[in-house]
Amino acid sequence: MFFELRQYRSLPGQREKWVNFMEGEIIPFQTSKGMEIIGSFVGQEEEDLYVWIRRFKSEEERERLYEAVYQSDHWKDKIAPRIPEFLDREKVVVTRIEATSKSDIQ
């Protein structure tokens, strides 16, 4: 099992709109395809920071879910075209992480 820690930077003044888009459209769509979203966060001291975490049982599951989400017509036609309204795509950082034995999140 592993996690993706995804850090995004919103465009000036767009973070609240991005959070609404994520939590109202992207997260529900991805969970409907089987993605497991562990958390959605905003930075307290960085007004453009948005972070979310997904959990995967295996690399095979991640590949299957990526295909189901990112190759779908809904993603390509409805969601992906809107992302540049909110985010600086060049500043996206995705880190794969594993929980330690003492972590509450497994």
pTM: 0.93
pLDDT tens-digit readout, 78-91: 999 999 999 999 99
Write down the number of H helices and E strands in the chain.
4, 4
* Confidence label for 66 from pLDDT (cuts 50, 70 and 90): very high
pLDDT tens-digit readout, 30-60: 999 999 999 999 999 999 999 999 999 999 9
Instruction: Please give the structure tokens belonging to residue 43.
Output: 């930075």
Give the contacts of 38 (CB within 8 A, at least 6 positions apart).
3, 52, 53, 54, 55, 105
pLDDT of res. 64: 98
Handedness of CA 23, 59, 57, 51 (dihedral sign): negative
Domain 2-97 has CATH 3.40.1440.60: no
Q: How wide is the angle at C-alpha 100 spanned by C-alphas 97 and 101, nearest 5°? A: 150
Q: Where are the domains of the chain?
A: 2-97
